[in-house]
Structure 1
Amino acid sequence: MTNGPRPSAPAGDSSSSAAVPRGLRVAAAYAWRFLLVIAALYVIIWLIGKLSVVVIPVSIALLVSALLAPAVGRLVDVKVPRGLATAIVLIGGLAVLGGLLTFVIIQFTDGLPQLQAQLYNSLNQVRDWLINDLHLRQEQLQQFIDNAITYLQTHQAAITTNALTTAGTIGEVLTGMLLTLFTTIFFLSGGEGIWGFLMRGAPQAIRARVDVAGRRGFASLVAYVRATAAVAVVDAVGIGVGLWILQVPLVVPLATLVFLGAFIPILGAFVTGAVAVLIALVTKGFVTALISLGVVILVMQLESHILQPLLLGRAVKLHPLAVVLSIAAGLVVAGIAGALLAVPLLAVLNAGIKSLLHERDPHPEDIDVLHDQTAGEPDEEPREEDTEVR
């Protein structure tokens, strides 16, 4: 019996690929696409690391612009020219910041002698405890001090190199501050024109949707900065009042440190609060430090259970796990600056991607990024008139 011709393999499918199970082919297709995405992300992160001297100041300028843009917008609404409004807000902001820093430095300088005296007394108490309770000899303590001095003398070159590196870092910080200031000026005075120029790079067919997504992303950033500033004020006032009642020295500098640290969600207030507890331990003893720790924990509970859900939860709509993981990733990639910028970046991406995936396609001018608190998020459900076939 003569066999008929074998059926040909499907078009575009060789005999070897047909022999591979379909599940394995699908997995391989996903695998190489996943590797391609990972490679692209690695290149982007590498470029950001190489250009961190520029990327970080520009990112901080964007945060500062989101904080100051509502004030500039209100002045523009009352017929103040945008350039003049930008100058008024920036000069006022710098004056407030400079006055605050000057006050903190004066307070720290005035309280430093008292802190040194209390630290000296605490060290004497520790020495007495080591001698009387642990029965260490005076010779052993003196030998430890001599070893420390010998170590410092031996590694003097390394310490000098680190000092020079620190001086270079200070120069980079000053350069970054100047770049941040100039970038903030241009963002506040001509942000709309800059965004319009960037939109020319988007394809014409999707330009309106990208414009809406960008505006919603910036609206989410504005809401995030407002909410974070409010949370930071509550943290600083709460911990500062507690330290003042306990008569811990350097209350104002510590409260300012808590305010600045609170701009890194969850971790910032914890770390700066730990510094306050350490100062209380060194200067006032174990009992005061324990009470200070209770104050810090109470304020953090207020932040995490009341302020975060009411303010940050409404502003950025991010899960706490996503916040913690983004801060950890930012800390690994770019240190303190990465931890500071991780959550705002995630909030902007969250709002922008949700807008791109949303079915509604409003006009970009309908998005009020400065005054509408809901502008950062698209509606969860389209309205009835939007469900009709266009």
Structure 2
Amino acid sequence: MQLLPDAARRLAAWCAVILLAAGVGWVAIVLCGEFRTAVVPVLLALLGTALLGPLYRRLVKVKVNRSLAAGLTCVAVVVVVGGAVYIVVAALIDTGDQIVASLKQAAKSVAEHLGAAGTSLDDLASNSKDLLAKFGGTAASNVISGVSIVGESIAMAVLALLLVFFFLRDSHRVAGALRSLAPRGTADVVEAVARRAFEGVEGFMRGTTLIALIDAFCITVGLLILRVPGAVGLGALVLVGAYIPYLGAFISGAVAVLVALADRGFVIALWVLGVVVAVQVLEGHVLQPMIQSRTVQMHPAVVMLTITAGASVAGILGMLLAVPLTAAAFGVLHELRTSYASEAPGAPGEPQAPGIPEAPGEPGASSASDS
């Protein structure tokens, strides 16, 4: 190695570090895939804890017992989520036929204008029947596997809810546990990194939920004014899709425009497109800076790459988890850069982690480094 230039040795060292990090990351992904029934509930519970932390801390602040406060918070989330799911499902059931009929009409219009020989709807229908007859056995097996997936999903959801209870109840012990497990002299840095990561996830969840509600309300009102069929169901689709940045808004907006084009014509479809674009502009230039200005900011290109990577690793669940986990990673990198910058030569004594109060509070408490 001494025969190589200094630049070549540095390049080799960086290559070794990158390969080692990639190998560790790949092993971690494989292990998470093997133990997904345990890993997924933990990740979902962390997201739920980040979202419900403020409510829990308010209950504790008014002298409610920690166990009771955590239980009330979990009951509240079950009632709210259950009610929201009921409203969304009921709206989709009531308006689902209208949406499907509108999409069929749109497909028929496209086929009439662009259809060539062999591409009519009748040909597509006959081909679909042949495909169903050919792959009927596969479909039956998929139904059976789908039932098992539903059962597994319900079990993971219940486990995640129980973990949310324990995470909330024992949140005051997290700082002490991290400091006891940290290597000598790194307790402050470890605690600061953990706080920053949790703050990134907490800010993303709260901000995204509020923005999703505003987007869904505005688009639903616009669709109702334009008398687009299935406006409530399309608004529910916007609400769900908002948790997948950019891609969710594009898909839900495209469906709304297609439904308007099929049922109300080209002019109304243009108005719907204008409403969707106006809401997205409002989100990007007003809501995002105002609501998520205190959270980790990521470039849209990074978000898109993160969503793509999450989808390739874990499908829809990976798309949902990719952005908050990346926000946490960005928060960790920011905190590490800030912490180690304070270790510059001439800094007196042991570096203190920025933004950490003397008496550690809840894991989602705001730190001075946010200001």
TM normalised by structure 1 equals 0.81
Question: For residues 114 and 349 of structure 1, what CA distance do their matches in structure 2 show?
Answer: 43
- Please, which moves more after superposition, 272-281 or 300-309? 272-281
Structure 1 position 176 matched with structure 2 position 156: yes
Question: For residues 103 and 239 of structure 2, what CA distance do their matches in structure 1 show?
Answer: 25
CA contact (8 A) 1:351 1:376 kept: no
Structure 1 position 28 matched with structure 2 position 22: no
Structure 1 position 58 matched with structure 2 position 60: no
Q: Structure 1 residue 70: deviation in Å? A: 0.5
Q: Secondary structure at the match of 1:204?
A: coil
The aligned counterpart of 1:76 is 60
- 1:292-311 to 2 correspondences below 5 Å: 292-311=272-291
One-letter code of the match for 1:256?
A
Question: For residues 282 and 305 of structure 2, what CA distance do their matches in structure 1 show?
Answer: 22
CA contact (8 A) 1:354 1:377 kept: no
One-letter code of the match for 1:275?
V
Structure 1 position 244 matched with structure 2 position 224: yes
Question: For residues 323 and 332 of structure 2, what CA distance do their matches in structure 1 show?
Answer: 14
Q: Structure 1 residue 18: deviation in Å? A: 4.0
- Please, which moves more after superposition, 324-333 or 77-86? 324-333
Q: Structure 1 residue 72: deviation in Å? A: 0.8
- Please, which moves more after superposition, 315-324 or 192-201? 192-201
The aligned counterpart of 2:307 is 327
- 1:142-153 to 2 correspondences below 5 Å: 142=122, 144-153=124-133
Seen in structure 2, the aligned counterparts of structure 1 residues 172 and 290 have a Cα distance that, compared at 3 Å, is: farther
The aligned counterpart of 2:256 is 276
Seen in structure 2, the aligned counterparts of structure 1 residues 115 and 206 have a Cα distance that, compared at 3 Å, is: closer
Percent identity over paired residues: 36
Cα displacement string for residues 31-62 of structure 1 (whole angstroms, at most 9, x for unaligned residues): 22322222122212222222222222211111
What's the C-alpha RMSD, in Å, of the aligned pairs? 3.0
Larger radius of gyration: 1
The aligned counterpart of 2:359 is 365
Question: For residues 40 and 123 of structure 1, what CA distance do their matches in structure 2 show?
Answer: 47
Structure 1 position 90 matched with structure 2 position 74: yes
- 1:88-127 to 2 correspondences below 5 Å: 88-112=72-96, 114-115=98-99
Q: Structure 1 residue 307: deviation in Å? A: 1.6
Cα displacement string for residues 260-279 of structure 1 (whole angstroms, at most 9, x for unaligned residues): 22122222222222222233
One-letter code of the match for 1:74?
R
The aligned counterpart of 1:3 is none
- Please, which moves more after superposition, 361-370 or 283-292? 361-370
1:204 aligned residue (184, 204, 207): 184
Q: Structure 1 residue 149: deviation in Å? A: 1.6
TM normalised by structure 2 equals 0.84
Cα displacement string for residues 171-191 of structure 1 (whole angstroms, at most 9, x for unaligned residues): 221122111111111111112
Question: For residues 329 and 116 of structure 2, what CA distance do their matches in structure 1 show?
Answer: 60
Seen in structure 2, the aligned counterparts of structure 1 residues 240 and 161 have a Cα distance that, compared at 3 Å, is: same
CA contact (8 A) 1:219 1:376 kept: no
Give the ranges of 4+ consecutive aligned residues of structure 1 lying more than 6 Å apart after TM superposition: 119-127, 133-138
- Gaps in structure 2 of 5+ consecutive residues: 343-351
Seen in structure 2, the aligned counterparts of structure 1 residues 190 and 169 have a Cα distance that, compared at 3 Å, is: same
- Please, which moves more after superposition, 282-291 or 231-240? 282-291
Cα displacement string for residues 209-257 of structure 1 (whole angstroms, at most 9, x for unaligned residues): 2112212322232222221112111111111111111222222222122
CA contact (8 A) 2:66 2:169 kept: yes
Cα displacement string for residues 153-204 of structure 1 (whole angstroms, at most 9, x for unaligned residues): 1221122222222222212211221111111111111123355335432113
Q: Structure 1 residue 368: deviation in Å? A: 6.2
One-letter code of the match for 1:72?
Y
1:337 aligned residue (317, 324, 332): 317
The aligned counterpart of 1:264 is 244
Seen in structure 2, the aligned counterparts of structure 1 residues 311 and 290 have a Cα distance that, compared at 3 Å, is: same
The aligned counterpart of 1:167 is 147
- Provide the aligned length of Structure 1 versus Structure 2: 357
Q: Structure 1 residue 123: deviation in Å? A: 7.2
CA contact (8 A) 1:215 1:367 kept: no
CA contact (8 A) 2:260 2:269 kept: yes
CA contact (8 A) 1:326 1:343 kept: yes
2:193 aligned residue (202, 205, 213): 213
Question: For residues 106 and 197 of structure 2, what CA distance do their matches in structure 1 show?
Answer: 51
